[in-house]
Amino acid sequence: MLDIKLIRNQTEQVKAALSKRGNYDLQPLLSLDEQQREIEQQRSELQARSNEVGKSVGQKIREGADPKGDEVAALREEGNRVKHQIGELEPQERELKAQMEEILLMIPNLPSESTPLGKREDDNVEVRRWGDEYIPAKDDRLAHYEIGEKLGIMSFERSAKIAQSRFVTLIGAGAALERSLISFMLARHTGAGYTEMLPPILVNSASMQGSGQLPKFAEDGFKCDRDDLWLTPTAEVPLTNFHRDEVLEADQLPINYCAYTPCFRREAGSYGRDTRGLIRLHQFNKVEMYKFVHPDHSFDELEKLTRDAEDILQQLKLPYRVVELCTGDIGFSAAKTYDLEVWLPSSDKYREISSCSNCVDFQGRRANIRFKAAGKKGTQFVHTLNGSGLAVGRTMAAILENYQQPDGSVKVPEVLQKYMGVDAISAG
């Protein structure tokens, strides 16, 4: 969430930054802010007068005035009148603040100055590529879902019978490969200094709001109607809110977490896209990396986070590229984002497998997560960063397509063989 003081005091700069993302009219918010501050000023003046009257009553009585006399009664009458006026203003102020918050919750983060200017995905900027030597020769490569079904390691048809479309059941070596990828990813990240977490996958609305999913993306979520609980769309949600409403110490930062969770999304805005395979499911597994950092270091930490996600792909010897998202394509909560896109031979193109973002103080403000430096007055909001490390199903898809062999088997990447216990996946 943006700071209302920033919007009020640097209106033109905020408008200019938001215009890089789309059209956002700040005037309704500024009008409400002006009304709220006027009422706040009136209430403050009335409260000061109420305090003066209260002191005057005590002073008069101490000086010998009759507690039931006209002079004291007049003061008390004035005090009651002032309190009544305050009582009328307070609900008006609360309502204005609620209306302001409703608007603020729908305004996205400001893009960083270094984020490339653009309107759509085509305007993203490629930063680097890795692993061109591992791109397999162009031949009649099967798509990952065709490989998986031929090998008997996944079933989409039976999953639709169990649930609906966009679900998968992994079988035998398919389930083992998924489990091995999760274990491998967590081992690499904990080895790099992240603390492993296993958070709840049901989260409340306050958690969804704190991380930026609500209210804007409510239609993409799965909600439990009888409870104020949602199936988490990403481990970013519980990890953000692990420190909600807390004040951390500066020497605790950076805090690095990683977590495996199942994730659940309706994919409401992707009708007709990737209807087959593992790319866009309603339920999928993901290993997430998350950082709480000092504001002075957040952009350096974004580079580290991105390199930690890249490490997984390099260990698996999967070719990929890093793309810096433009202002029109970055996520709602992000100020700057790098996407990692893995090579999928059947599509003859790179596809997103990780998104690494610096949200600066946007989530810290929404979830009220602050830190205090030793010996200094006041607190600051932490900066938060998140990144997939990686989306497990998409990683499996990339392995099946890049490691498929002429005989129909799939070679197991060397780093996964100790987890799988085999060096290849074959039919039967």
Whether residue 352 is annotated as binding a ligand: the answer is yes
Q: What is the spatial distance between Cα 355 and Cα 330, in angstroms, rounded to a whole number?
A: 10
- For residue 265, indicate whether it is catalytic: yes
Residue 288 labeled ligand binder: yes
**Spatial CB neighbours of 381, under 8 Å, sequence gap ≥ 6:** 295, 361, 364, 365, 369, 370, 371
Partners of 203 in the β-ladder? 230
Backbone phi, psi, residue 14, to 5°: -65, -45
Which one from 37, 129, 244, 280 is the annotated catalytic residue? 280
Is 56 labeled as ligand-binding?
Answer: no
Burial level of 340, CB count in 10 A (0-12/13-18/19+)?
Answer: buried
126's tokens: 């490629």
Q: At what angle do helices 173-191 and 392-402 cross, to 10 degrees?
A: 110
Q: Is 266 annotated as a binding residue?
A: yes
> CA torsion 394→400→401→403, rounded to 10°?
130
45 among the known binding-site residues? no
Is position 394 annotated as part of the catalytic site? Answer: yes
114 annotated ligand binder: no
C-alpha pair distances (Å), 367 with each of 62, 205, 284: 49, 12, 26
**Choice among 188, 265, 365, 370 that is catalytic:** 265
Is 352 an annotated catalytic residue? yes
| 333 carries a ligand binding annotation | no
- Catalytic pick from 155, 207, 298, 355? 355
Q: Has 280 been annotated as catalytic?
A: yes
Cα(201)–Cα(398) distance, rounded to whole angstroms?
26
Active-site option among 178, 324, 394, 401: 394
403 SS3 class: coil
Q: Is 354 annotated as a binding-site member?
A: yes
Given the DSSP bridges, would you call strands 125-130 and 383-391 parallel, antiparallel or unpaired? unpaired
Distance (Å, rounded) from C-alpha 144 to C-alpha 71? 89
- Among 56, 146, 352, 409, the active-site one is 352
Q: Tokens standing for 190? A: 């904990």
Q: Is 265 annotated to bind ligand?
A: yes
Residue 261, SS3 per DSSP = strand
Annotated binding residue 211: no
Which residue ranges make up the annotated binding site for L-serine?
Answer: 234-236, 265, 288, 386, 388
Which residue ranges make up the annotated binding site?
Answer: 234-236, 265-267, 288, 352-355, 386, 388
Positions marked active-site: 265, 280, 352, 355, 394
Which residue ranges make up the annotated binding site for ATP?
Answer: 265-267, 352-355
